[in-house]
Structure 1
Amino acid sequence: MIMPDTELGILLLAVLFDITIGEPPRHLHPVVWMGWVIDQMDRRIVRRGGACDIIRGTGVLATTILLFGISTFLIMEVAGLWPLIEILAGGIILKTTFSYRYFRDSIKAVLDGLRGGDIEGARSRVSMLVSRETSGLDAPHLVSATIESAAENLVDGIIAPLLFFAVFGIVGAVIYRVVNTADSMLGYRDSPYRDVGFASARLDDILNFIPARIGGVLICLACGRGFDVMIEDRKRCTSPNSCYPMGAMAGGLGIWLEKPGYYRINERGRAPDVEDIERCLEVMGIVFLIMIMIGVGMVSIAGS
């Protein structure tokens, strides 16, 4: 069992690693390993549709959860024999479940491209952040897509894993990351993933239910406004969670956010411009800091 002081050390070390070092090399990154395992099992599924594919997809998810959950538990049990090694191992593993610096730098790259007039470069960078086609997007919609990605990543890239760590420890954070990774790879509504990704998508919705709403509130607090838009537009997305942080960001920045043909959030807002990405980055930093304080508080309370 990890002691509260050790958990606090793990959390602070993970944050330090994220800010100063960033992501480990791809060949050493557990999330890349998760993706590889999921992909290998998915390749072996013969699609027949319906319940059979749902069962197979559930098997892929369950197997990956068990593999990485048990591995993490065993690593931490062995590391626990030496307190400093336990904190070091825990800090490294926890850091790989969340990322502030990487997303900040990715969004800043879009900002730099748009400020420099490199619209094609910005489209290419935005395409790495979102799943939509970006080749025909104009500047306001490129900004919108970037800010939407930032809002969602605040939830599943920072808030959720840190909350799961504070409540369930390292194994909880790793299992959350497995589910979120499986959803990003399999959780599509169209064939051939609709049935295979059913379990991953639904479980990801469940696990993000509370973090998404906390994220929306934290974004509104960071902006000093946006609660009304978040509540009014919370059901505009097909996802039960996505519109909370996106609505909060749109309302907080006073802009509309739109995925053409799917949704438009805060219709009363003005068109987003390049400087709104800068403001979004500031909001991200504030929310990250608040989330660290919440995590420290939860870990401390658990130990009192």
Structure 2
Amino acid sequence: MHRLAVFILAVLADALVGEPPTSLHPTAWVGQAASVLEGIGRKLPARGQLLLGALVALALPLAVGLSARKTLRLLRRTPCIGMIVEAALFKSSFAVRALLGEAEGLACLLREGELERARIKARSLVSRDTTHLDEAHLVSAGLESLAENTTDAFLAPWLYYLMWGTEGALVYRTINTLDAMWGYHGPYEFWGKGAARLDDLANLIPARLGAFLLALASGKLRQAITIALAQHARTESPNAGWTMAALAGALGVELEKVGHYRLGLPRRALAPSLLDEGIAVVRRVAALGAALMTVLLWAKGWFGREKGRSS
């Protein structure tokens, strides 16, 4: 039951403490290493960027996974300390509290009519230019970020933890970090192609699970699933459309990234109060996901123990 205990410790740490300082955050270390490699690779011509970028997108997650495995083996010599350190490492792969906190901050600013500050705040949630967004499009941006990050911020790391332990969660987080840094058109068109495609592959199952859990947690299962099935392909990403369309359907709103996509049906106006509703849905998804993980990890541990006894 070691893996279950680590999961519970990590979830409690996230809920009670939140994110560690940047200087102690493994994701920040990955970002620093990636920036160094980017500085070298982006000096190459387009073909060289494409090849080296893809190689880095594969090699860096692999290096993180192997380093984590070696570290965890050393930690097993001191079980109690090892469990705490492993929980801290696993915690660095997901962030429920931080995601909800950012969305709550945006909702608060919009309720207070602080539109300019809300535009600045929204930059931490979405990659688009927020300079001229009105209130409705800021609400949309917040809801889109909540929906997409239901996958990225916690469901996907938890799923990879279930399958491959802390190493799996950290490998996923590295893949997702590289996509967040490089997975864009424009200057990263060639360098970031490999990272973007690998992230698409890594999120194929988690995104669809996220859409189902968003629909279930909203209490509007049929409505949300109908919209998700009908409209998920409207986004360029093969994954983001699933969770965004599901949340749009659940809330009865239309989410829009101007010039790119519209998801959902405009049954309700996009007001700041809808961000609070979206936050509540995602919080319930986190609770459902944690409960499901607890059951699955317990079952995995129990059957593993029984198998060990019979062999």
Equivalent pairs counted in the alignment come to 298
> Helix, strand or coil: the match of 1:264?
strand
Residues 1:200 and 2:195 aligned together: yes
Alignment of 1:85-234 (within 5 A): 85-190=81-186, 192-225=187-220, 226-234=224-232
Matched residues in 2 for 1:277 and 1:268: separation?
A: 15
Q: Displacement of 1:268 after TM fit?
A: 4.1
Matched residues in 2 for 1:260 and 1:162: separation?
A: 32
Q: With the length of structure 1 as denominator, give the TM-score of the two structures.
A: 0.96
> Helix, strand or coil: the match of 2:283?
helix
Aligned residue type for 1:48: P
Matched residues in 2 for 1:232 and 1:65: separation?
A: 34
Matched residues in 2 for 1:161 and 1:233: separation?
A: 25
2:269 to 265, 271, 278: 271
> What residue is the counterpart of 1:48 in the other structure?
45
Q: Displacement of 1:47 after TM fit?
A: 3.0
1:69 to 65, 71, 95: 65
> Helix, strand or coil: the match of 1:112?
helix
> Helix, strand or coil: the match of 1:239?
coil
Matched residues in 1 for 2:197 and 2:179: separation?
A: 9
Query: Any unmatched runs of 5+ in structure 1?
Result: none
Aligned residue type for 2:28: V
Matched residues in 2 for 1:166 and 1:173: separation?
A: 9
Matched residues in 2 for 1:89 and 1:175: separation?
A: 17
The C-alpha deviation readout for 1:211-252, integer Å capped at 9, x for no partner, is: 000000000001122111111111000000011000010000
Which one has a larger percent helix, Structure 1 or Structure 2?
Answer: 2
Residues 1:21 and 2:23 aligned together: no
> Helix, strand or coil: the match of 2:233?
coil
> Helix, strand or coil: the match of 1:7?
helix
Aligned residue type for 1:167: M
Is the Cα–Cα contact under 8 Å of residues 236 and 263 in structure 1 kept in the other structure? yes
Question: RMSD value over aligned CA atoms?
Answer: 1.0
Q: Displacement of 1:65 after TM fit?
A: 1.6
Q: Displacement of 1:109 after TM fit?
A: 0.6
Is the Cα–Cα contact under 8 Å of residues 251 and 266 in structure 1 kept in the other structure? yes
Matched residues in 1 for 2:127 and 2:116: separation?
A: 17
Is the Cα–Cα contact under 8 Å of residues 6 and 83 in structure 1 kept in the other structure? no
Structure 1 stretch displaced more, 171-180 or 224-233: 224-233
Q: Displacement of 1:60 after TM fit?
A: 1.8
Matched residues in 2 for 1:85 and 1:75: separation?
A: 13
Aligned residues: percent identity? 34
The C-alpha deviation readout for 1:253-281, integer Å capped at 9, x for no partner, is: 11110000000111343331111011011
Is the Cα–Cα contact under 8 Å of residues 258 and 264 in structure 1 kept in the other structure? yes
Matched residues in 2 for 1:13 and 1:130: separation?
A: 30
Is the Cα–Cα contact under 8 Å of residues 8 and 300 in structure 1 kept in the other structure? yes
Q: With the length of structure 2 as denominator, give the TM-score of the two structures.
A: 0.94
> What residue is the counterpart of 2:307 in the other structure?
none
Matched residues in 2 for 1:18 and 1:90: separation?
A: 14
Alignment of 1:240-259 (within 5 A): 240-259=238-257
> Helix, strand or coil: the match of 1:258?
strand
Distance 1:194 1:38, change over 3 A: same
Residues 1:287 and 2:285 aligned together: yes
